[in-house]
Amino acid sequence: MPSRLINWQVQFFGREWDFMDLYHLTVLLVVHFLCLLAPFQFTWGALWVAILLYFVSGIGVTISYHRNLAHQSFKVPKWLEYSLAYCAVLSLQGSPLEWVSTHRYHHQFTDKLRDTHSPTKGFWFSHVNWVFDYHSRFGSYDGQLMKNVGDLECQLYYRFLHYTYFFHSVLLGVALYMVGGLPFVVWGMAVRLVGLIQVTFSINSICHIWGKQIWDTGDASKNNWLFGLLFFGEGWHNNHHAFEYSARQGLEWWQIDITWYVIRFLQVVGLATDVKLPTEIQKKRKALAKKSIMKDK
């Protein structure tokens, strides 16, 4: 039996499963199985609802969870910060506390054993199996659950979303059913969520394997143009690891970064302030430190 298959089986079956692991597995299985109904529940209205919600919830993840909350790349008024975070909650990728904590640990231990979705444990672990190992994600960091998000945990709103985030997606599903019936649920929830979840997971896995490495970041992060398009600029992953504080990840004019365009718009109208970007001096220092430019694998 191939060693990769054995490792996958050990990661999946050779450990104890707790309630959170089973919960995450159930949710993923349900939305993926619901996708099987998509060809039989297709309507143009349902497709457009799925596209609209993909954009709303996806931008919520990239602009709120990632660049605003995890990296504090810019500031917006609280009413807008909370609204963007609520959009991200509808992605069903975890509460703000859980998502941001996971991501901050990822940057603290990138591509090492303590990385929450370390590729050193294999492709499938970095892609999805880490989701089913809740204790590994949070239980091994000094024995404290999500201890690195104190700035968010002190806010009542984020604690509220942490304990109720699943129910907001349930409410959305009910609303979609009332408006458009089963087609709206299948496309607006299942198809949209599966697409968004798989694209997000691919940043953790594929973007640490395939693509170009422009900066010497000391890890395996890669720029991947395809996921730059599919996930609103997040695919410029080597850029991000080089300048993780940056509100802009598509650093070149041709690197499409829709999340940055939204942030830039908010900045122009006066809603986004303290927008952080790498200076030319910082870029030169990082470029001079790089060992080589890796070609596409």
Q: What is 206-225 written as a DSSP string?
A: GGGTSSBB-S--SS---B-H
> Average pLDDT in the 137-162 region?
80
**Which of 3-7, 28-32, 157-161, 167-171 comes out lowest in average pLDDT?**
3-7
Q: What is the pLDDT of residue 134?
A: 72
Across 202-235, b (16+ Cβ under 10 Å) vs e yields: bbbbbbbbebebbbbbebbbbbbeebbebbbbbb
Looking at every residue in the chain, the average pLDDT score rounds to 88
Indicate whether 100 pLDDT > 90: yes
Lowest mean pLDDT across 122-131, 133-142, 204-213: 133-142
pLDDT at 138: 60
- Rounded to an integer, the average pLDDT of 245-262 is 97
Residue type at 156 in one-letter notation: L
Q: pLDDT confidence of 115, banded at 50, 70, 90? A: confident
pLDDT at 158 over 90: yes
Is the pLDDT assigned to residue 53 strictly greater than 60? yes
pLDDT at 143 (0 to 100): 47
Q: Which residue did the predictor score with more confidence, 124 or 157?
A: 157
pLDDT at 289: 53
Query: Rg of the Cα trace of the chain?
Result: 19
Confidence of residue 21 (pLDDT cuts 50, 70, 90): confident
Tokens 């019936």 — which residue? Answer: 181
Q: For the residues of 241-268, what is the DSSP string, one character each?
A: HHSTT-S----STTS--HHHHHHHHHHH
Q: What's the average model confidence in pLDDT over 135-154? A: 72
In this prediction, residue 168 carries a pLDDT of: 97
Please give the residue that has the higher pLDDT: either 225 or 129: 225
Arithmetic mean of pLDDT, 5-25: 64
This prediction has a pTM of: 0.89
Please give the pLDDT value at position 252. Answer: 94
At 200-251, the pLDDT tens digits run 999 999 999 999 999 988 899 999 999 999 999 999 999 999 999 999 999 9
